[in-house]
Amino acid sequence: MLDSDLAILYGVTTRRLKEQVRRNPDRFPADFMFELTVEEKSEVVANCDHLGKLRFSPYMPYAFTEHGALMLANVLNSPKAVQVSVQIVRTFIRLRELLATHKELARKLEDMEKKYDHQFKVVFDAIRQLLSPPEKEKKPIGFRVEETLARYRTSSSKRKRK
């Protein structure tokens, strides 16, 4: 996310946000945030309509990763930043809980497959056979001319006409 978007989210000015980043350089390593180049800034402004005000700004915006956004919420002291920080922590806790249940469910499914694989081998083979498309009849390659047989007159047919 860009600094201007995070400033709106945290209820502070972009100037105040950048000020806190400059005052706490140890909290924002390269994998947490970086400053956009002139080319990157012009591309972002061209692709994102809500960033039109950045077009004429002489300052290069900062881009933050999710870790940088969390660190920024911890550095800023606005009431919104504190609320966002708490919500981020709660979200990470919930994600960890979901991951744990997902891993447990995957393990149970794997155990069931191992246990019942031999009993249902015939069923699995039948399903695989149904899923595979039937082989189509191959047509011969090349050009075939189909002619009707020509009727030739015989000497007896000439005599009948006359």
What pLDDT, in 10s, does the model give residues 30-75?
A: 999 999 888 888 888 888 877 777 788 888 889 998 888 888 888 8
Q: How far is CA 108 from the centre of its chain?
A: 28
What is the per-residue pLDDT for 90? 86
Give the pLDDT band (50/70/90) at residue 155: low
Q: What are phi and psi of 151, to 5 degrees?
A: -95, 120
CA angle 93, 96, 100 (to 5 degrees): 140
Q: Tell me the C-alpha distance between 2 and 120, whole Å.
A: 54
Helix or strand run (H / E) with residue 68 = helix 66-75
Helix or strand run (H / E) with residue 112 = helix 79-116
What is the per-residue pLDDT for 19? 92
What is the per-residue pLDDT for 150? 67
Residue type, 121: K
What is the per-residue pLDDT for 16? 92
Which SS3 state, helix, strand or coil, does residue 35 take?
A: strand
